[in-house]
Amino acid sequence: MKNIIKPIFGLFAVVFSLLLIGGGCTTSKRLVATPGKVRVTFIQMNDVYEIAPLAGGKIGGMARVGYLSKKIKAANPNSFLIMAGDFLSPSIYNTLKVDGVRVRGRQMVDVMNAAGTDYAMFGNHEFDITENELQQRINESKFKWISSNTFQNVNGKQKPFNVIENGVVAPMPEYRFVTVKDPDGTSARIGFIAVTLPFNKADYVIYTDPLSTAVEVYNRIKDSCDVVVAITHQAMEDDIRLAERIPQLGMIMGGHEHDMRIQLVGNVWITKAHSNVRTVYINEMIIDKATGIVEVRPKLTPIDDKIPFDSMTEIAVQRWVSKANANFTSLGFDPNKVILSSGEPLEGRESLVRSKSTNLTQLVVKAMEYTAPLSEVAIVNSGSIRVDDVLQMPLTQYDILRTMPFGGALVEVEVKGDLLKRILTIGVKNRGTGGFLQFSTKITTDSVSVWKINNVDIDDNNWYRVVFSDFLLTGGESNLGFLTMDNPGIRKVTVNENPVKPGMADIRLAIVNYLTR
């Protein structure tokens, strides 16, 4: 098939837009068939960690996606709701237990089932949970999974993950076909492939190279269908390389960046929606069987309070919200309470907080300093920030909970200067991992060996009062195994001249108290 590019105007686009904003769908509002052409709609979402709306209920919400998707499907049965990876993790729900069992993405699968999701693929965060937990989520899915380059490591051997369909256990396919048909009887066959970046190196996962695998699978199926669509979860530059390598692709629906991307490479559209369904892409594809031409029309659609909730999806959402809120209240939080009503969005995307200081990481450090005012500096590991998103205003206590789902206490100790410099140096070398350290702005360096506090060199033999997140003092962070209370370069704080501010028991309470002071 040949791809052509046309703007999203004209009669079809106008009719489709009217359908979206109008009332309920009836058969009279179905799209009119065009002889010899099949019209397909892909509703694309990616990087979704929240089931309920954010920003005070104004933005996002899987129940709104469910409503939009079902309405589109009523207008055009050749429509599919697609998830381009990252939905089982990270999430505040993953720290909760229901009936004594960790949730680990159960809430998302339940809600995606209710919303009518059709196809999903692995993002890198799907492998944050254990092998057994992932298998349970796959088994609970009513939607179909695709994985072209991601496999299960079974005793060192590469095998497909298992999936249950209609009660039958089968290997997760490397590709899938779907046949679509217009009312005039014209039919077309679409092939799907799905590739994931090899980011999370969980022991139970084996990756093959995304680009070469995509090319190999494409060549294997291209003659068995009218068009091949790639669903991906990788960096935009890798999607561009994929489009350049396979210019005959129908389109690429991707995820990973969170901040919405769209690019036309040759004749191949690449689309990525905003995270947490702040938007979805509605991608229209028209397959002309007579000419072999495939026409693609992407349209970014905001998911906001102008879209009502799908009742069935909302029931599932509220079931899980109620469970979560009961847990948060027991810990002393008021999830819906606004603590910042306006201001700049807070940058919490993993790719940035694990490599640099952002306004969100600075806020966390300042809250630690405020809570432990006698400490000279504060240090926290970037891996404790798990939101992997940009926090929009208004900011609620729930946003803080989902930012740092594991919580943890703050601990004040005295650290000998030579050890403190070693900690800071390794923290910089851990760039790109959760062991990259965030610390007080009064700490500066001229090189990886010269460290200063308030422009004064750290003295190897002096002792410095430091407030840490408690996890750092377990020795469990990357390359910081020596950082424990048993280290001779660490001693407990024995004198506390000032009352400690509330929040020492939980870093999330420290942040809430700091922002509401």
- The model's pLDDT over 20-64, given as tens digits with 9 standing for 90+, comes to 444 333 333 455 567 889 999 999 999 999 999 988 889 999 999
User: Which segments of 64-216 are extended strands (E)?
Assistant: 79-83, 97-98, 101-102, 119-121, 144-146, 150-154, 157-159, 162-165, 168-171, 175-181, 187-196, 205-207
Specify the pairing of strand 377-381 against strand 463-469: parallel
Give the residue carrying structure tokens 């009218």: 226
Q: CA-to-CA distance for 250 and 86, rounded, in angstroms? A: 23
Residue pair 255/46 in contact (Cβ under 8 Å)? The answer is yes
In the chain, the largest separation of any two C-alpha atoms, in whole Å, equals 84
Amino acid at 460: D
Q: CA-to-CA distance for 458 and 452, rounded, in angstroms? A: 5
pLDDT tier, 315 (very low <50, low <70, confident <90, very high otherwise): very high
pLDDT at 15 over 50: no
User: Which segments of 358-499 are extended strands (E)?
Assistant: 377-381, 390-391, 395-396, 410-416, 437-439, 443-445, 451-453, 456-457, 463-469, 490-492
Residue pair 197/124 in contact (Cβ under 8 Å)? The answer is yes
pLDDT tier, 4 (very low <50, low <70, confident <90, very high otherwise): low
For residue 115, the model assigns a pLDDT of 98
Read off the pLDDT of each residue in 164-175 and give the average, rounded to a whole number: 91
For residue 26, the model assigns a pLDDT of 30
Strand partners, 474: 484
What is the average pLDDT value for the chain, to the nearest integer? Answer: 91
Read off the pLDDT of each residue in 160-188 and give the average, rounded to a whole number: 93
Query: Is residue 318 within a helix (H) or strand (E), and if so which, with residue range?
Result: helix 311-330
For residue 79, the model assigns a pLDDT of 98
Sequence-separated (6 or more) residues with CB below 8 Å from residue 471: 381, 384, 406, 408, 477
Query: Which of the residue ranges 147-161, 207-221, 393-407 would you say has the lowest mean pLDDT?
Result: 393-407
Residue pair 324/118 in contact (Cβ under 8 Å)? The answer is no
Which tokens sit at 21? Answer: 């904003």
| Residue among 361, 372, 359 at smallest CA distance from 409 | 372
pLDDT at 279 over 90: yes
| Residue among 91, 96, 131, 128 at smallest CA distance from 112 | 91
Q: CA-to-CA distance for 420 and 298, rounded, in angstroms? A: 52
pTM: 0.84
Domains and CATH numbers, the chain: 38-320 (3.60.21.10), 336-515 (3.90.780.10)
Question: In what side-by-side order are the strands of the sheet with 119-121?
Answer: 2-5, 293-302, 279-288, 37-45, 79-83, 119-121, 144-146
For residue 389, the model assigns a pLDDT of 82
For residue 31, the model assigns a pLDDT of 55
Where is mean pLDDT largest: 107-116, 379-388, 426-435?
107-116
For residue 39, the model assigns a pLDDT of 97
Alpha-carbon distances, residue 56 vs 277, 338, 395, 399 (angstroms)? 15, 8, 8, 11
Task: Supply the DSSP symbol for 385.
Answer: -
pLDDT tier, 84 (very low <50, low <70, confident <90, very high otherwise): very high
pLDDT tens-digit map of 197-218: 998 889 999 999 999 999 999 9
Three-state secondary-structure class, residue 377: strand
Q: CA-to-CA distance for 49 and 107, rounded, in angstroms? A: 10
Centre a 10 Å sphere on the Cβ of residue 130 and count the other Cβ atoms it contains. Answer: 13
| Residue among 411, 410, 366, 373 at smallest CA distance from 497 | 373
Three-state secondary-structure class, residue 81: strand
